[in-house]
Structure 1
Amino acid sequence: MMGPVLAACLLIILSTAWISQANGALCKKDGGVCTCNDKTKSVDCSGKMLTAIPINIPTDTDNLKLDYNKLSSLPRTAFHNLKELTYLNLDTNQLQTLPEGVFDHLVNLDKLYLQYNELKSLPSGIFDKLTKLTDLTLSQNKLQSLPKGVFDKLTELKTLEIRNNQLQRVPDGVFDSLLNLNTLDLNDNPWDCSCRDILYLSNWIREKKGTVSNIEAAECDGGTKAVLEITEEEAAEDCVYPNTTTAIPTTIITTLASSNDDDIPELPVPQENFQKFLGYQEPDHLPTQPQCLMSISGYLGLMMSLVLTSAAILYVIHFLKKA
C-alpha cells in the first residue's frame, strides 16, 4: 500500500508547485509572492523581480505597489479590473513605453508614480481619465517630448515631477489646466533657450513665480541662464524638432533651400545621424535574450509540471486498480 500513498503525496506536491507557478503573483496566503492586507486593501509586490504584471490581484485593491521590479512592458488591460485603485507605484522598473488606455479604468486614482523607468515618450491622452489625480511623478526617465494637452484633464493635480528627462521644450498651454498645481519640478532637462518655443515656459514660470514651487530653478541647457530670464530677443529662432533630434533653426534650412545646388558642398553624413534626423529609431520593444530565456524556461517548467502531474495520476490509478 506504500506505492499509492507515495504517489498521492507526489501528486499533491506537484499540484501545489504547478498552482504556485501559474499564480506566481497571488498573495502569499494563496501561495504567491505578493503581500496582501485585506483590511487596508493593499497589495505589495515591491522588489520581487517580477517581469510580468501579477495575476488575480483582488479587484477591490486600493493600494498597489509594483516598484523595484523588472517590468519592461505593460499589457493594455493590466489594470482594467482595478477600478478602486487610488495609489499605483511603478517606480524603478524598465518600462520604455505605455500602451494607450492602460490607465483608462483607474478613475479613482489619486497618486501615480512612474519615475526611474526608461520612458521615451507618452501616448496622447494617456492621463485623460485620471481626473482625480493629485500626484504624478515622471522624473528620471528619457522623455524627449510631451504630447500636446497631455495634462489637460488633470485639473486636481497638485504635484508634478518631470525632472531629469531629455525635454528641450513643452507644448504651448501644456500647464494651463493645472489650476491646483503647487509643485512642479522641471530641473535637469536640456531646455533649449535659443528657440522661440521656450517662451511659453519662460512666461509661465514668471507668471506662477511664488505660487508654484521649484519652477524658478529650471535652467537652459548648459546651465548658462534660468529659463524664466529668457527674452524674446534671445529666443529668436523658429526651430523644428524632427522627432527627437536636436533643434535646427529654420533660418539655416531657408538658406540651404535658396542656395544654388552647385554651391552646397557635399558633407559626409554618418548613416546613423541621418536616420535619427529623419526620425528613424531602432525598435526598442524587442525582448532581450535573458527575457526570452526566462519566458522559455517558465513555459518549459510549466509543461514539465503538467507531465509529472499526469504521470502521478496514472501511477495512482494503476495501483488503485491492483488494489
Structure 2
Amino acid sequence: MAPACLLGVCSLLCAWSVVTGHPCSLDHQGWADCNGKSLLHAPSSLPSNITGLDLSFNSLVMPHHGTLLMNFPSLRSLNLSSNALLALRSAVFSNLRALRLLDLSSCSIAYLHTDAFKGLGNLHTLLLRNNSLQELEVAFFLPLKALFHLDLQHNTLVSLDTRSLQLMEAVPQVRLEGNPWVCDCTAQPLQQWLQRRQAVQVTCASPLGLRGWEVAALDSQDLGCQMKQRFPRGLSTTQQITVTHSNTTTPPSGKGGRSWPYLVGFLVTAIGISILIALAAKCKLFHKNFASYRHRPLPETSSIRGSPMEDGSSWDRGASESHPMPGAADLQAEDDDGFIEDNYIQPSEQLPEEEEQESHISI
C-alpha cells in the first residue's frame, strides 16, 4: 500500500513538472534539483513547500535589496555552490528561518555584509570554502546561534581577531585549512585557539622561513612575540625557576604577586627616616632659641665698694669699654625721650626750681 502511494505521489509531481514546464526535477521527499540549468533566478513555478533546493552550477543574480528566495519558507537545505555571487547583501536569506544547511562554496565571494545571515537562527552547517574572503567581522557570527559546522577552507584569510575567535569557540567544528595565514605576532591569538582546539593542517604561508609550518606547533619566539614563560601545572617552583633562567629572561610567573612586601617595607623606612630628620631639626632649633634667651644677671649696687660717683664713673668706663659708643640715631632717640619727659613736668614743679636759681644769682 505504501509503495503504491509513494509511486503515485512521484508520478503526480513528475506530471506537474511537465505541465508547468520548469526545468527542475522533484522527488517524493520534497527535494528540487535545478543543478546546471543556466538559471538566473529560482523558478517561481516550484512548489512552495519544498524542503531542499539545489541551484548549483547556475548563473544566479543576487538581488541588491530584499531576499533571494521569497516563496520557499519551508526550505531546510539550500545549495548555491558554483555561482558567481561575489557579494552577499544584508538579510538576503532572512525569510529562510527553517534553513539548516547552506552551501556557498566556490561562489567567488569577497564581501559579506555583517547582516548577511540575519534570520538564520536555526542554521546548522555553513559551507564557505573556495571563496575570496579576506576578513570576518564579529557581527558575522552573531545571528548564527545554532551553528555546528563552519567551513572556511581555501579563502584568503591572513588573520583573525581575538573577538571573532572567541565567538567561534561556540562552534564545535571549524575548518580553516588552506588560507594564507601570516605567522607573526598578530597570529598569536589564532595559534592559542588552534592549540586549545587541537586543530591540525593549518599551516603558515608567510614569512618564508615559516612557510608550511603548522601554526599550532609554533611558540612565541617563532612568532616574534615577547611572552611570559608558561609552565605545566605539574612543575614545582624550583623547576620553573630553572627552566626560566635556562630558556628565557622573563621572571617566573609566581614571583609577580610577592613584590608588595618590599614596597611596603620601603615606604615604612622612608617615612621613619623623614620623621627622624624632622625631630633632629626641631631639637636643634629648640636649643638655638633656648641659648638666645639666656641672660646674665646685673651686679647689685650694694655689693660694690666706693662712692656712688666713683661707682657710676667706673661703671660708665666699663660700659664704654664693653659697649661701643651710641650713634647719632641713639642720641637723637634719647634726646627725644628727654624732651618728652620734660614736657610732662608740671608747672607747679618748675616754680621752686626757678626761685632757687634766682636766689643763687642774687647772692
Give the structure-2-normalised TM-score: 0.52
1:194 aligns with 2:181: no
Paired residue for 1:47, among 36, 55, 80?
Answer: 36
Question: 1:58 aligns to what?
Answer: 47
Cα RMSD between the aligned structures? 2.3
Question: 1:207 aligns to what?
Answer: 196
User: CA 1:72/1:234 → structure 2, altered by over 3 Å: closer, same or farther?
Assistant: farther
Paired residue for 1:228, among 195, 216, 233?
Answer: 216
CA distance in 2, matches of 1:145, 1:83: 31
1:106 aligns with 2:96: yes
Query: 1:169, 1:191 within 8 Å by CA — same for their partners in 2?
Result: yes
Which protein, 1 or 2, shows the higher relative CO under an 8 Å CA cutoff with sep ≥ 6? Answer: 1
Paired residue for 2:24, among 25, 34, 44?
Answer: 34
User: CA 1:206/1:28 → structure 2, altered by over 3 Å: closer, same or farther?
Assistant: farther
Paired residue for 2:117, among 123, 127, 132?
Answer: 127
Question: 2:357 aligns to what?
Answer: none
SS state at 2:98 partner: coil
Deviation above 4 Å: which 4+ runs of structure 1?
Answer: none
**Aligned-pair distance for 1:137?**
0.5
CA distance in 1, matches of 2:221, 2:61: 44
Question: 2:68 aligns to what?
Answer: 78
CA distance in 1, matches of 2:19, 2:150: 37
Question: 2:361 aligns to what?
Answer: none
1:166 aligns with 2:150: no
Which one has the largest radius of gyration?
Answer: 2
Q: Deviation digits for residues 166-195 of structure 1, max 9, x if unmatched?
A: 110123232434566343221111011124
1:91 aligns with 2:81: yes
Gaps of at least 5 residues in structure 1 are 1-25, 210-214, 238-323
CA distance in 1, matches of 2:223, 2:71: 48
SS state at 2:163 partner: coil
Give the structure-1-normalised TM-score: 0.58
**Aligned-pair distance for 1:227?**
1.5
Query: 1:65, 1:90 within 8 Å by CA — same for their partners in 2?
Result: yes
Query: 1:80, 1:103 within 8 Å by CA — same for their partners in 2?
Result: no
User: CA 1:81/1:236 → structure 2, altered by over 3 Å: closer, same or farther?
Assistant: farther
**Aligned-pair distance for 1:136?**
0.9
Gaps of at least 5 residues in structure 2 are 1-15, 226-363
1:184 aligns with 2:174: yes
CA distance in 2, matches of 1:172, 1:58: 44
CA distance in 2, matches of 1:33, 1:151: 35
Which has a greater percent of helix? Answer: 2
Query: 1:157, 1:178 within 8 Å by CA — same for their partners in 2?
Result: no
SS state at 1:202 partner: helix
Give the count of matched residue pairs.
205
